[in-house]
Structure 1
Amino acid sequence: MPEAPKKLRLWAEVQAAQARMLVVQANIRDLTLGMKTKEFSAGLSEEQLAAKVAKVKEERLVLMEEYMRLNLFQPDFSGVTEAERAAEAARLRQEALEEGRRLLKAGDPRGFAPLGPMRFTDALYQSERDYGRRICHAVNILSVKIACSDVGFPIHVYGTVIVRDSVDSKCVYHFRRGSHHCQLISSEDESLILTGPKRGLALLDDIYVETDLKIKDHLGQDRELSKGMLSIRGTGRTVKECKIETKSLATRLSTVDVTYAVVKDAVEATIAVEVVQGVFHGKITAYTISVHDRLVLYDSSSKEVAADAMTGGDGRGAMILQLMRPVVSVYLKDMLIIDAQQAGDGESRSILFTPRANRGDEDQLRLSPIGIGKVIPQNTVWYCLT
């Protein structure tokens, strides 16, 4: 059998390196999560625990160095002929088909994420050390914008934006619309209306943002606008402060900008808002002292909000508002600020909550003697991500 071309052998080596990266990433995750379990420190003295932690950190550092080295391994196709490219593409396509058949039988790990919020709300911690092992960094997706469109504006956008972290490696939806329910985007400054996540995003390993967006053209035909993936680095990352970052994904007809907040030592807050008197038309947002960019929790002017979720206190009792984004990750030493702004006169009031590892808080505010009487973020529930 003739020897395979050198460049194709190199591509096979790159694929092997990528497969090894997945194994290394899983090992890093297992070591990190293992340190957070009660079994990790069971029966150990302070000295024994310190020695065990040091050993695990050393093992994890070795794996991180291997991961970074493998990540630099890139293929070189400069000496490959068109025939060789076609043969390699056919081989990769066949591998993808075989993987697809396997996933159909085994269940796609990239399917809908089953885990929801408030998984550890009732956890009992004896000391800060108990919950400190469960604290990790997190990410809040702030906006997804069509920064550049080859077909111009306005455009009618539909499709999905999903995010996957290493908690379960499955899809956490942030945008999901069918072709019958497009969002009109009039300029590059306008964000997609995000309606997630259903739980916080843990930055243990890399986080992946996947776009599958389409548009309706002037003839009503479907066209692919953006289909691709970008990563938010978590493996081997040191987070010293909360910060905002933006990454761009250049694809078929557009460039998509994803802006997100990296949150240090995060806990999750699940927020619920109730109108107990009057009628509320306006916007409710959430932000923190360290990250001023706001997450829109509720906007009565948005078509995403059901009509029956805009009013309350009409004699039938309290009305719970249907929030578009009820889950926010917050730095444990930060402050969560919930702001309610009434439409029309623009009157605004804010409530501050102090993050903690578990349990819940409740507070109330009054915007005016008429209209909205009280807005109560019921059960602002704090809990660890992992």
Structure 2
Amino acid sequence: MSLALSTLLFEWRRYLAAVIALALAGVLMLAVSAMFIGILQSFTATIDKSRAQIIILPANSSSLGGPGGGGGALPKRVVPLIYRHPEVVEVQDLPGDFGRFYGPGKTSPSMVNIMVIDTSPNGVTLPDDFTDDMRRAIEPPYNVGVDISAVNQLGVKLGDEATINGRTVRVALIMEGYANSQAPGVVMSRQTQRLMGTANDDAFGLLMVRIKNTSEKDAKRVAEELNALADGQYKAWTKEPLAAATVKDAMSEGLLAIILGFMSVIGFVIGVVITWQTLRGAILANIKEFASLRALGVSIGQLRGVVMELSFWVGILGIAASAVLMVGITFLAKSANIPMGFELGSSLQTAFLLLIISVMSGALTLGALKKGEPADLLK
């Protein structure tokens, strides 16, 4: 075991503040983006959980751009163009809308996110976590499902009647996994949407495509081939690249980018200052030990290496503590019906930044070693 690691293990109380500071800095940088990604994922839940392998958007769309698709609308004539590919099995649009929801006895409406799905067995837009009983529950006209997280907010329970956009509906399903902190999720069948008069058969926000072979490799290949046949009329995506593009576009927008950048800067500054001062205090507290090592012939360069390795291990512990805190925060957010989402790239970037903070703090601490002269041991 190296000197730096053994020092950290035996003197852990001296370095605990630095670990906590790094952990809090990581939470500060990651929590806001995780909450925003969770909000995005709540609006695209039916897309992510659909049984389609490919999503068709307008040709000028760079991402979903919202719950109804970005970049305008797809004309009806696009559908037969998609069927030209021999591996395409089914093409269906995925409508989505917002509505004014009145629960029993409510005098003020709640805005809800309306998700429209196929209720046919194994329908391409039927979420993959829907059981047959759930599918049948919303199959009758004017039957709707409500996420369990929105039950209290909307003031409804199973079997209640409510009003959406002036039409009476019945809450026939209480589901899980569709929490939305911005607009409670309500799911209905395509037939119910038509009866409510909000269906549009002439233009679509997006199309969901099922192919013969459902592997990710085949989906990417078919998407590329569909794009080659598109002639500028549409753009085919697979789920993973589309989700990544949607998050990237959303996070690059003005106000959000400023907020995330500000939180990252604040977290970085707080992490550097507190970690630097804590490491400096710990080194000064052990300055006689470092002076003893110099008296035994250990060079100042080697001692600097010990301090830098010490800061590295503090960074590793800070990353681990930050991960534990984020797990706890995610659990608390889930219990409060606040969706949280994480991107691997963003999480790795935050971990790398915490390590940089720790190493920088160690570099700023190196000057304290000059106070540990061997001659001071004679005083």
Relative to the length of structure 1, the TM-score reads 0.21
Structure showing greater Rg:
2
> Which has the higher relative contact order, 1 or 2, with Cα contacts under 8 A spaced 6 or more apart?
2
Q: Going by fraction, where is helix more abundant, 1 or 2?
A: 2
